[in-house]
């Protein structure tokens, strides 16, 4: 079967679970189906070019997940948002030329689309993802904080306002109040979950470009806290620990292949969902992540009646009764805690290099002096509980004037060992964040 990429706003993380078989009957005693919300769905309209962009930007998301997973061998859980990185680098791309622009667009999945096409794609998601489901709270904000010793170019300012809803704000970068002001924006946009994003300010920095995303959604069918109980969870290192495990019986989209079993837990009016992926026997979360980077996660859906054995073959989502158990958990991540040079090092491994090189970066259209990106950082946090999910992230890019910088069947789905999960918006499919939960 040919495998394609899905266009998701996604959070991928690695937790643990158990999966036996699945049944096709919908009338088992005690089975609970999802509550259907009455809120209208507003499906996001994409042009043909934008559908290619979202598909290939999801490839960037999964490649980013793989790069993080290969870099961070601490065994700890992580959560990141490639979409937030895309928005920040989309702003940088607008001011770039030459090989710098080519590397950005190719790695992010925009090929040679050009700044206007990339900007229009980002604007579509920024404007319309928050409107897809009124039961889901999603806020996307961008900001530009400019050193008042420099001048932003009018064309760049106009593009940022038109496509990213961002206006350049001139500040005194030698004042400690500026640090508090920028971190105050971060704290406000994440509702206090991420209080700071920068620790200090180089007074020679030209500008900071920021993106913040805040997501909060209730499960379509919430877990009853009375069913949550303490159970064992086996980490990737084989350590057994106790975690609060949430349970419910649900009718849900479910599939399995040779590498993993998966199900989709919907939020709100079901445009958003979390896809949870559990390794099959003899496989690991590394195998899942490698497969996602290779072929994505788009598998067909199959509507059936009765016990259709053909449907039960691999790589097809079908409605299945599941005794679902997943941990209640929180994960926080910071790219500055990764080895080497954090987020910049990750992006360099993926093919984005020149934008970080003070001698060769081609970013002439942002300010009155050419700049290079000398700093990038992302912080992210997620909480999953009986009610739903709250996730937020902030990404920052700092630019220095180039001359000043040198850069070197019934299924039991019990999450008791590491697994992968994905949060996605169905009509556009854009990926929001990727992560890993290991119980540590």
Length of the chain counted residue by residue: 440
Arithmetic mean of pLDDT, 385-403: 94
**What are the sequence ranges of the domains in the chain?**
1-440
Query: Average pLDDT in the 158-181 region?
Result: 96
Q: What is the DSSP letter of 222?
A: P
Burial class of 237 by CB neighbour count within 10 A (0 to 12, 13 to 18, 19+): exposed
pTM comes to 0.86
Rounded CA gap, 264 and 22, in Å? 15
More confidently predicted of 426 and 88: 88
Other beta carbons within 10 angstroms of residue 29's beta carbon come to 4
Structure confidence at residue 408 (pLDDT): 31
Instruction: For CA atoms 245, 247, 250, 255, give the dihedral sign.
Output: positive
- pLDDT, tens only, 92-115: 999 999 999 999 999 999 987 899
Task: Give yes or no for residue 36 having a pLDDT over 50.
Answer: no
pLDDT for residue 124: 96
Task: Tell me if 394 sits within 8 A of 197, measured CB to CB.
Answer: yes
Hey, what's the torsion of the CAs at 311, 314, 318, 321, to 10 degrees? 100
Strand, helix or coil at 246? strand
* pLDDT, position 400: 94
Residue 303, pLDDT score: 59
Tokens coding 194: 């991420």
What integer best gives the mean pLDDT of the chain? 86
Residue range 273-329, pLDDT digits in tens: 999 999 998 999 999 999 999 998 887 666 555 455 555 556 788 888 899 999 999
The topology under which CATH files domain 1-440 is Antithrombin; Chain I, domain 2 (3.30.497)
> Residue 75: which residues within 8 A CB-CB, separation 6 or more?
235, 236, 237, 438, 440
């Amino acid at each position: 079967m040919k495998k394609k990429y899905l266009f998701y706003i996604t959070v991928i993380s690695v937790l643990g679970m158990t999966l036996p078989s699945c049944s096709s009957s919908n009338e088992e005693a005690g089975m609970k189906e999802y509550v259907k919300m009455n809120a209208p769905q507003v499906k996001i309209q994409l042009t043909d070019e934008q559908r290619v962009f979202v598909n290939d930007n999801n490839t960037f998301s999964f490649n980013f997940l793989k790069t993080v997973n290969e870099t961070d061998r601490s065994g700890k859980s992580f959560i990141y948002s490639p979409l937030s990185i895309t928005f920040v680098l989309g702003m940088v791309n607008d001011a770039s030329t030459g090989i710098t622009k080519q590397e950005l667009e190719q790695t992010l999945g925009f090929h040679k689309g050009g700044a206007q096409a990339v900007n229009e794609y980002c604007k579509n998601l920024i404007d319309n993802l928050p409107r897809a489901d009124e039961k889901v709270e999603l806020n996307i904000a961008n900001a530009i904080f400019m050193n008042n010793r420099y001048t932003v170019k009018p064309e760049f300012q106009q593009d940022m306002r038109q496509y990213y809803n961002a206006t350049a704000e001139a500040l005194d970068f030698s004042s400690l109040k500026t640090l508090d002001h920028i971190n105050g924006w971060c704290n406000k946009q994440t509702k206090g979950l991420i209080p700071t994003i920068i620790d200090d300010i180089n007074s020679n920095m030209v500008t900071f470009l920021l993106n913040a995303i805040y997501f909060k959604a209730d499960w379509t069918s919430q877990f009853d806290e009375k069913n949550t109980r303490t159970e064992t969870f086996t980490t990737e290192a084989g350590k057994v620990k106790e975690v609060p495990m949430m349970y419910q019986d649900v009718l849900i989209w479910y599939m399995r292949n040779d590498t993993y079993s998966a199900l989709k837990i919907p939020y709100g009016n079901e445009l958003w969902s979390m896809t949870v992926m559990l390794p099959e026997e003899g496989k690991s979360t590394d195998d899942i992540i490698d497969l996602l980077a290779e072929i994505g996660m788009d598998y067909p859906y199959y509507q059936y009646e009765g016990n259709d054995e053909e449907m039960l073959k691999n790589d097809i989502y079908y409605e299945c009764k599941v005794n679902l158990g997943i941990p209640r958990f929180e994960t926080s991540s910071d790219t500055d805690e990764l080895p080497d040079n954090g987020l910049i090092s990750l992006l360099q491994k993926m093919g984005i290099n020149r934008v970080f090189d003070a001698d060769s970066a081609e970013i002439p259209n942002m300010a009155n002096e050419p700049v290079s990106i000398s700093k990038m950082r992302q912080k992210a946090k997620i909480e999953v509980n009986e009610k739903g999910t709250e996730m937020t992230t902030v990404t920052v890019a700092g630019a220095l004037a180039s001359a000043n910088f040198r850069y070197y069947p019934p299924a039991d789905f019990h999450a008791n060992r590491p697994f992968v999960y994905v949060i996605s918006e169905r009509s556009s499919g854009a990926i929001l964040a990727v992560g890993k939960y290991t119980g540590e």
